Amino acid sequence: MQIKGIARDTLDFILEASRSMAPEEFAGLLQEKNGIITEVLILPGTESSDTNAVLRLYMMPNIKAAGSVHSHPGQNRRPSNADLRLFSKTGNYHIIVGSPYSRQSWTCYDREGNIRELPVLDVEFEEEEEV
């Protein structure tokens, strides 16, 4: 599946979640619909601990996703070795968010850890019709 980009609302959600989790790490899996990343599957049972969020993400069963997302507590957005192991396991779009969690403070990588473009798209979400 060719990924066209990420929905702006989804990116904003990621940034907001990363900000509110800091200095804890936020981590989740990216899910796409029709080639656009519109959903984040958040790690269950996230709690304050020294456990690395990426390692816990890595252990999620049946990982099938367009990629992953997680935050770093500081401004360094380079993937760690644990990050690269996760990247190689699922998907080809891996977002790392860093402080201060603004629209400029995220980077997308491919599964080898090379920086790649991920366009931010304004998507109209289909509204559920009220019955």
**Least gap, CB of 74 to Zn ion (angstroms):** 11
Q: Give the residue closest to Zn ion by C-beta.
A: 83
- Considering the candidates 24, 25, 117, 128, report the single residue annotated as catalytic: 25
Instruction: Determine the straight-line distance between the first and last CA of the chain, rounded to whole angstroms.
Output: 34
**Does the footprint of Zn ion cover residue 57 (CB under 5 A)?**
no
Q: List, in sequence order, every residue forming a beta bridge with 96; answer none if it has no partner.
A: 70, 107
Omega within 30 of 0 (cis) for the link into 23: yes
Helices and strands of the chain, counted as H and E runs: 3, 7
Tell whether residue 83 is a contact of Zn ion (CB under 5 A): yes
Q: Verify whether residue 39 is a known catalytic residue.
A: no
Active-site annotation, residues:
25
- Residues interacting with Zn ion, by CB under 5 A? 80, 83
